[in-house]
Amino acid sequence: GQSLEQPSEVTAVEGAIVQINCTYQTSGFYGLSWYQQHDGGAPTFLSYNALDGLEETGRFSSFLSRSDSYGYLLLQELQMKDSASYFCAEPLASGGSYIPTFGRGTSLIVHP
Amino acid sequence: NAGVTQTPKFQVLKTGQSMTLQCAQDMNHNSMYWYRQDPGMGLRLIYYSASEGTTDKGEVPNGYNVSRLNKREFSLRLESAAPSQTSVYFCASSELWGGGRTDTQYFGPGTRLTVL
């Protein structure tokens, strides 16, 4: 089954705050990354959490709770340009190494 | 500084044809990756190269081969294309491949491949 679970779609209005959740596999956990991808574009890195707590980068913040195997991406003061897909990712153990593994993505739709 | 570049941007193949997707990075990164992205499936790792001279299978390697030509270039080859390989292919690079450590990946613009 999918080791990273995130909602398939989230909608919000311009100016609001939205949270995108991600639950992950706990075995050998090293950290959780977040990437943004606009339609037809390349994924771009947003943030990374290795330890519990909040990491803030401008309007975007990412949170991690290792005890709950859970993280989220928080987007504040939403703008139309934030409409995109958001992926959480972690390295998963495979055959003696680690493979970067992505969730299936959350499509964020921002309405005016 | 172009980052990660990929060629071609679009390609249409017939079943059974072969082709090579090219990827190059100018950031002096050690590690490079090939992913495919299908609707609703996220990004799935095909092959990766932790450092120059090494390559390893990812989650979905069947039907593909790779070559790490030098530190800058990492190519993906489809020997006999199948309709199931219709997808968007992304190349990525990162500075390090530190075992379980997550390192920021930088992605190319993608190649949109259709196999008829």
B72 touching chain A per CB within 8 A: no
Q: Give the burial class of A29: count Cβ atoms within 10 A of its Cβ; 0-12 exposed, 13-18 middle, 19 or more buried.
A: middle
> What's the confidence (pLDDT) of residue A95?
66
Task: Report the run of H or E that residue B103 belongs to, with start and end.
Answer: none
Q: Residue A14, SS3?
A: coil
The answer to whether residue A87 scores a pLDDT higher than 50 is yes
For residues A112 and A12, what is the distance between their CA atoms, to the nearest angstrom?
9
B99 touching chain A per CB within 8 A: yes
Of A42, A89, A103, the CB nearest to B109: A42
Average pLDDT, whole number, for chain A? 90
Give the residues of chain B that fall short of pLDDT 50.
100
Of A33, A42, A104, the CB nearest to B102: A33
Give chain A positions within 8 Å (CB) of B50: 97
B99/A42 Cβ within 8 A:
no
Residue A98 banded pLDDT, cuts 50, 70, 90: confident
The answer to whether residue A28 scores a pLDDT higher than 50 is yes
DSSP label of B28: -
Residues in chain B: 116
